[in-house]
Structure 1
Amino acid sequence: MTTSTPTVVLVHGAFADAASWAGVITELQSHGIPVVAPPNPLRGLASDAAYIASVASQIDGPVVLVGHSYGGAVITVAGVTENVVGLVYVAAYVLEEGESLGELQGRFPASPLAANLKEATYPVEGADPAAEVAITQEAFPTVFAADVPGEVTKVLAVTQRPLAVAAFWETASAVAWKTKPSWALVSGADQAINPEVERFGAKRAGATIVELGGASHAVAVSQPKEVADLIRDAVHATS
């Protein structure tokens, strides 16, 4: 066990950016916990995980990785990095080795998210354009952030970052929760990921689970203190 306080690395998911952690960052900083909130490229599981692993490995001392939504899949793979000592899943996908987001989701009833995505293309150097998806602006408030004030969701809807379609079908090459302790927050009223998907993955990982009954997918925005409290539990347990 290490004696230094781990640095918390907050990994956002699809249709959001690092600013979605603002309230959580404030809470953690008020308790003297070092925090980094890097951009998640959202271009593919292997490349996104490699980027986050690179960020973590360049931090001096232990790291607790926190992943929201698709970010949970990213930290599952990136978490095998040597100095990562714990994983926290926030309304997130918790994959098994060799499993994809699409496979895990496919075992449960679809959430309203699937019917409210719009597709676009983006250029890829030396190859054909690739596809990415975002949530339609009309559906964004109810699907992503039903418990967040309307004036905030209007901003979140236009600043969302799209996810490469390929990311849904890339499989996890490694699984950090098999060798490192994990914690999970389940958003009970999530309309983007079926809460059953969150519960199933968290239980399978043997995570310490907290459930917030009325929480939307944007729980880090609507209930930052509760999210930060769970992260602090992980920090204390791994210090």
Structure 2
Amino acid sequence: MNEFYNDFIGVIGNPAQTIGKIMEKKRWQAVLAVILLLTAIATFLTYPITKVEQAKFIRDSEMADKLSEEQLANLDKFTPSQRLTGAMLSLVFAGLMIVVAAFFIYLFFKVAGSEGNYVHYFSGVVHASILDMFLGGILKSSLILMKKTTLIHTGLTMFFPGMDFRSLSFIVLAQFDFFSIWYLAALALGIAFFAKISPQKSISIAVVYFIFKSLVFVSFSYFIMKLVGM
């Protein structure tokens, strides 16, 4: 428990050495379990709000024309088992996100000549996720519960409150989330310490990864929006 606490504080206060040493030790189990548990709890608590907003978006989209009146009326209704299933699915999805993110981080740094195996980078990604998925997750879930809406902003989109969340501009700006950037910067510093490369080189590789990830996410999100008629 003391080791977990020190890692938690270290990732926030001294990410380079903390994440770098954790990567060397290939330690990730405890933090991953906490992050996944928090994700499931947050999803369970915010599920009613999410369900209501999803129903509203569907009713306002072209998909509504394909549903009966009864189906439209029942869109925001759910059972306790559906709520629990949603929480469990979010846990699985969060785990997959970390696995995939670690793979691409590893791939980009490996191509650039950095040392280490996948498990080293996976350990780094898991602990850097304390900043994004843990601290960021707590804040975002709290804002959802307080404001009763899933349309909360912790990035550049907060400076454009009137922008339509379905627009391409909004989707692009949403990539610049403060917690996501904090996570990536801390991870880059940790990898630099572990792989014994300059922080500048590590951050440059991380920026290339960020651009790649953003292009993929923006393209996918915009395509889905158009596909469902939103």
TM-score normalised to the size of structure 2?
Answer: 0.29
Higher relative contact order (CA 8 A, sep 6+): 2
Question: Which structure has greater helix proportion?
Answer: 2
TM-score normalised to the size of structure 1?
Answer: 0.28
